[in-house]
């Protein structure tokens, strides 16, 4: 076993997992939804699984669990062939695309590792060192000439359990797609455990890579591809001719003096926040616009964002301007709607129309909840792609004005705690890549009772204040 940079990790094996033998080379176009994310950092998630005593020793893990995970991963890739390929951008192509070539060493990187860290410490919700989780997600390779699409790391914690870390390229998969892939892999792994000869995937887990159904009437794909070439030329004027570089921008994780934590809003907490917001609606807004109810997404984001903004402002007084951007799934919102199993990016980002100082006001939760709710009503009315043309400009002008833009990753609708490879449901699911920006990560509560988990990474002092503010209102 070789050690890697992280002292607590030993590399056991490194595989290139390929789909079952096939001679076909395939190319898959990237749509404007995909190209927008071309140089964005990977989305990184970890699924932690506990094992009973009888299965938590080395021999069972390496002789039983690893081979089944590896075989089922190969079988899953035959349904998701583009993921085993690479993003390339030849000089004669106006836009980048995905190519899978079985004769070109294509496949998916799978690292098998072992950690001597205390498993229970790693998965606890209370604040702990940010860097801990980074040890359990794999590197996603990207160079001037190509970018890998997905990579995995399975880490064994002797006498405790194991984790599956996943890095995905955002220009090929959105959150719904990457979760669908994991559900397909888990489904086929269970079938192998049950010794089914050649398992068949459930229809709802069969991906559609049909790019024809995404209509680009405004030529946004060409616009975004040109934008990336211009950005590269401006940022690296000395590297002429390298504007089609596919290396992911180095958004470095925040590690020194930063901690990672997970908080939960139960169904009762969300109900309490909802009553508080709706009661203020009547005072502030005499129009008939008060909704009958508010979604868990609106309530969780508004509450978490205000606690987050107030915590940052409390520690760094000069930071008082904030904005919130979130993505919406466009599958059911396009005309005509596209299938639920469409595989690729089909999300578009929107900024809410709050004033920059609303987040730190006394009535911040109400103001932000109202603004998110109204933006969603607008999207459902005018369409999910409203405002696409000036998206780049809007973000640029906000950052130049010193406005901190907070984002959101994940969703409470993905069902990540259902992903069982045959050894039980996850003990903890974490979106690690929230440490690369100011982002909150969402997932449904593990107990399945309608609550929501919120994960984030903050400076230690800001996290202390966030914890106080978060627990104050809901009284947990």
Q: Which token pair is 338?
A: 């596209």
Give CA–CA dist 217/203, Å, rounded.
31
* pLDDT over 70 at 401, yes or no: yes
Instruction: Find the Cα–Cα–Cα–Cα dihedral 463, 465, 467, 471, rounded to 10°.
Output: -170
* pLDDT over 70 at 206, yes or no: yes
User: Which region among 13-27, 33-47, 143-157, 410-424 has the lowest average model confidence (pLDDT)?
Assistant: 13-27
2-235 against 258-474: fold identical: yes
- State yes or no: is 170 an active-site residue: yes
Phi-psi region of 172 (alpha: psi -120 to 50; beta: other; left: phi over 0): alpha
User: Which region among 58-62, 252-256, 264-268 has the lowest average model confidence (pLDDT)?
Assistant: 252-256
Give CA–CA dist 345/32, Å, rounded.
9
User: Which CATH superfamily includes the segment(s) 2-235?
Assistant: Chloramphenicol acetyltransferase-like domain (3.30.559.10)
On the 0-12 / 13-18 / 19+ scale of CB atoms within 10 A, 111 is buried
Cβ 261 vs Cβ 126: under 8 Å = yes
pLDDT value, residue 343: 98
pLDDT value, residue 196: 66
Bridge partners of 49? 162
Give CA–CA dist 96/225, Å, rounded.
8
Domain 258-474 fold? Chloramphenicol Acetyltransferase (3.30.559)
Query: In the predicted model, what is the mean pLDDT of residues 81-97?
Result: 96
Closest by CA position to 159, among listed 61, 271, 83 = 61
Query: In the predicted model, what is the mean pLDDT of residues 232-252?
Result: 80
pLDDT in tens, 285-319: 766 678 988 999 999 999 999 999 999 999 999 99
Instruction: Find the Cα–Cα–Cα–Cα dihedral 418, 423, 429, 433, rounded to 10°.
Output: -110
pLDDT in tens, 369-379: 999 999 999 99
Cβ 462 vs Cβ 311: under 8 Å = yes
User: Which region among 5-14, 175-184, 209-218, 224-233 has the lowest average model confidence (pLDDT)?
Assistant: 5-14
Cβ 307 vs Cβ 369: under 8 Å = no
Domain parsing of the chain, residue ranges:
2-235, 258-474
pLDDT value, residue 4: 47
pLDDT in tens, 428-469: 999 999 999 999 999 999 999 999 999 999 999 999 999 999
Whether pTM > 0.75 for this model: the answer is yes
Of residues 222, 329, 363, 420, which has the active-site annotation?
A: 420
Of residues 170, 313, 350, 373, which has the active-site annotation?
A: 170
pLDDT value, residue 396: 78
- pLDDT-above-70 percentage for the chain: 95
Cβ 325 vs Cβ 350: under 8 Å = yes
């Amino acid at each position: 076993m070789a050690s890697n940079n992280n002292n607590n990790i030993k590399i056991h094996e490194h595989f290139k997992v390929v789909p079952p033998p096939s001679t076909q080379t395939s190319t898959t176009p990237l749509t404007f939804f995909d190209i927008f994310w071309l140089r964005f950092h990977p989305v990184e998630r970890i699924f932690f699984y506990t094992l009973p005593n009888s299965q938590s020793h080395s021999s069972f893990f390496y002789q039983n669990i690893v081979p089944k995970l590896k075989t089922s991963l190969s079988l899953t890739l035959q349904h998701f062939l583009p993921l085993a390929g690479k993003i390339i951008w030849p000089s004669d192509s106006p836009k980048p695309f995905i190519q899978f070539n079985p004769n070109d060493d294509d496949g998916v990187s799978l690292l098998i590792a072992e950690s001597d860290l205390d498993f229970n410490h790693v998965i606890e919700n209370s604040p702990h060192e940010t860097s801990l989780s980074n040890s359990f997600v794999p590197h996603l390779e990207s160079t001037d000439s190509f970018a890998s699409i997905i990579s995995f790391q399975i880490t064994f914690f002797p006498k405790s359990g194991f984790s599956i870390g996943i890095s995905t390229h955002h220009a090929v998969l959105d959150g719904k797609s990457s979760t669908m892939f994991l559900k397909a892999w888990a489904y086929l792994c269970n079938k192998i455990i049950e010794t089914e000869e050649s398992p068949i995937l459930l229809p709802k887990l069969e991906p559609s890579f049909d790019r024809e159904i995404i209509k680009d009437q405004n030529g946004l794909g060409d616009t975004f591809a040109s934008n990336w070439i211009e950005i590269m030329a401006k940022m690296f004027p000395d590297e002429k001719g390298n504007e089609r570089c596919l290396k992911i921008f180095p958004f470095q994780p925040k590690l020194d003096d930063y901690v990672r934590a997970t908080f939960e809003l139960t169904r009762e907490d969300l109900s309490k926040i909802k009553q508080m917001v709706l009661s203020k609606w009547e005072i502030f807004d005499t129009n008939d616009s008060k909704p009958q109810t508010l979604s868990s997404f609106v309530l969780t984001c508004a509450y978490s964002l205000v606690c987050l903004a107030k915590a940052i402002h409390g520690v760094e007084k000069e930071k008082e301007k904030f904005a919130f951007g979130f993505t919406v799934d466009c599958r059911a919102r396009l005309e005509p709607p596209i299938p639920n199993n469409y595989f690729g990016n089909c999300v578009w980002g929107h900024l809410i129309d709050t004033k920059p100082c609303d987040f730190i006001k006394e009535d911040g939760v109400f103001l932000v909840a109202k603004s998110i709710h109204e933006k969603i009503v607008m999207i459902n009315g005018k369409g999910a792609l409203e405002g696409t043309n000036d998206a780049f400009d809007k973000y640029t002008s906000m950052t130049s004005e010193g406005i901190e833009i907070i984002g959101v990753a994940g969703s409470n609708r993905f069902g990540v705690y259902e992903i069982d490879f045959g050894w039980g449901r996850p003990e903890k699911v974490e979106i690690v890549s929230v440490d690369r920006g100011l982002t909150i990560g969402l997932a449904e509560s593990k107990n399945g009772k309608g609550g929501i988990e919120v994960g984030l990474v903050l400076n230690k002092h800001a996290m202390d204040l966030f914890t106080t503010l978060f627990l104050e209102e809901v009284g947990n």
